[in-house]
Structure 1
Amino acid sequence: MQRKACASGVAALLAALLAGCTGGSGDGSTTDDSNPGDAGTASAAAEPGRYRTLPQPCDAPGRASLDELLPGIRQIGDEEQRERAYEGSATSTFDTDRRVGCRWKVDAPDATNHLLIDFERVVSYDTAVSDDSQAEQLFGEKEASAHLPEPVATESASASGSPAGSASGTPSGSPSPSGSSSPSAGGSATPAELRPRVLEDLGDEAFLDDELSSSGSTAEQRTVTVAFRTSNVIVTIEYAEQPATAGVVPDSEEMQDRAQKLALQLADSLGD
């Protein structure tokens, strides 16, 4: 009888040991912590950008816009040469699904005009970062590299009793004429509304830059840049004019108006 009881006790001990090795914690959870957290649950991928393709840049502005931006184009007598001028030249890119551009150059008796349109479609390769967020970061770097001046607080100056326009260094009622500024459009002689600045109501974010440069004894060339972002596409317009006569300065207001008008047109076409 003693042997039988001993055998029964050994069997019970083995059963308890086996239960301890294979049993759980009692609350249904696993003891395997090789995949902590939400094991087996994949993280949701970031949203893709709105745009999957890019427009044809050389067809983007349309002839009416080119007539305004490049006045000399209508003065080209040879019809075949004029058609080539309207067509522009596509810029070289490594991946036309990601970046495309087109440039124009037109000589006229009084000035030479240059126009560049560039479309960049931003794609994030980080599943945790959306295309829009990646484009926003890149656009922020682009804006920072433009070194835009601090905005002029004309409204606060008026509220404090200062004459209108005094915050921009220009007496009220006598703004300095376009083109008479110092070598940079951000100079103190430039009206506040013509200085390089952030633009409102253009895409998700936008800015305008305006530079006046000189090459030795040649005429000063003005370059107006308008850049904006819509979702994951960044659009850049560079519009330049160099007069044929030294001492003649391109009109800043006129060039900015033309560049902004084109930017609005391109933004509308992206929204279609």
Structure 2
Amino acid sequence: MQRKAYVSGTAALLAALLAGCTSGSGGDGSTDNANPGEAGTTTAAAQPGKYRTLPEPCGAVGHDTLGTLLPGIKQMTDPGQQDKAYQGDAELTYDTDRKVGCHWKVDSDDATDRLSIDFERVVSYDNRVSDDDQAKKLFADMESAADLPVPSGTPSPSSSHSGGTPSGSPSPSGSPSGSPSNSPSGSPSGSPSGSASSSPGSTPADLQPRVLTDLGDDAYLDDQLAASGSTAEQRTVTVVFRTSNVLVTLVYEEQPTATGTVPDSKEMQDRARNLASRLDDALGG
């Protein structure tokens, strides 16, 4: 009888243990591996960017566009040399899905023209920051470094000054109205462009370095004129824009061969902006 009682007690103990295990693991298991203090605090990772790859840079610009920006190409008589000029030179890169670029340099009878384009796909390594937001921050840093003039300083003179004041003063309000009218031929653009870098206020508002609102998600244009010693002045037009998580930088330079010649600001800006718009379309922005 003693042995029978012992067996019954052991069976009861096992039943109790099994019941405890069942109650602890029952339900939907939502408490397994969960810390009470972290309940409901899980945050979803930031969204990845729209773009996972980049276009082939040297093939991103058509022959017609290159012929317009780099007139010297059309002056070449050697077909092989011309083909090589169209191809451009790819920038050295170790990850074509992250950063690529291409540049061209062509001499013509009147000037030396250079063009470069760079694509950078931005990736955020912080789960709390999306690729787009990271690209937006990098773009803002580039725009800040460009030190664009304050937009409000340009349009105000014409609206705030009286009719007689602008004509009597050589400051910002006088030049914009005088430059275009006194520029019948090649020096027209030379006048406004020549003062773009040294005296931004003397350049028409629509040609000054500025934010662009019709390109990508964010964009700006910079226009600088630099004297090259005793030679002609070199103009550099830069367009930078962001489409989702891709940053595109376009730099267009021209240095005339004739001393005293100033590259046409409006012409160069129009060419650069047209190309930037094509690149944005190619990205599908």
> Please, what TM-score do these two structures have when normalized by structure 2?
0.78
CA contact (8 A) 1:168 1:192 kept: no
Deviation at 1:96, TM superposition (A): 1.5
The corresponding residue for 2:138 is 138
**Aligned residue runs from structure 1 range 205-224, under 5 A:** 205-224=218-237
Partners of 2:276 and 2:237 in 1: how far apart? 12
The corresponding residue for 2:23 is none
SS of aligned partner of 1:225:
strand
The corresponding residue for 2:190 is 179
Matched, 1:197 2:184: no
Deviations 1:125-175 (A, max 9, x none): 111100000000000000011010011456655555644995942367433
CA 1:196 to 1:186, structure 2 compared with 1: closer, same or farther past 3 Å?
A: farther
Partners of 1:84 and 1:165 in 2: how far apart? 55
**Aligned residue runs from structure 1 range 60-71, under 5 A:** 60-71=60-71
CA 1:205 to 1:185, structure 2 compared with 1: closer, same or farther past 3 Å?
A: farther
For structure 1, which runs of at least 5 residues remain unmatched after alignment?
Answer: 1-29
The corresponding residue for 2:268 is 255
User: Partner amino acid for 1:107?
Assistant: D
The root-mean-square deviation of aligned C-alpha atoms, in Å, is: 2.8
The corresponding residue for 1:46 is 46
Q: What percentage of residue pairs aligned between the two structures are identical?
A: 57
For structure 2, which runs of at least 5 residues remain unmatched after alignment?
Answer: 1-30, 181-187
The corresponding residue for 2:37 is 36
Partners of 1:114 and 1:268 in 2: how far apart? 22
Partners of 1:183 and 1:209 in 2: how far apart? 10
- Alignment length (residue pairs): 244
**Aligned residue runs from structure 1 range 33-182, under 5 A:** 36-38=37-39, 42-152=42-152, 160=160, 162-163=162-163, 168-170=172-174, 173-176=177-180, 177-180=188-191, 181-182=194-195
User: Partner amino acid for 1:207?
Assistant: Y
CA contact (8 A) 2:176 2:204 kept: no
Instruction: Find 1:226's aligned residue among 232, 239, 248.
Output: 239
SS of aligned partner of 1:43:
coil
Higher helix proportion (structure 1 or 2)? 2
SS of aligned partner of 2:229:
coil
Matched, 1:245 2:246: no
Partners of 1:88 and 1:213 in 2: how far apart? 25
User: Partner amino acid for 1:126?
Assistant: D
The corresponding residue for 2:184 is none
CA contact (8 A) 2:175 2:202 kept: no
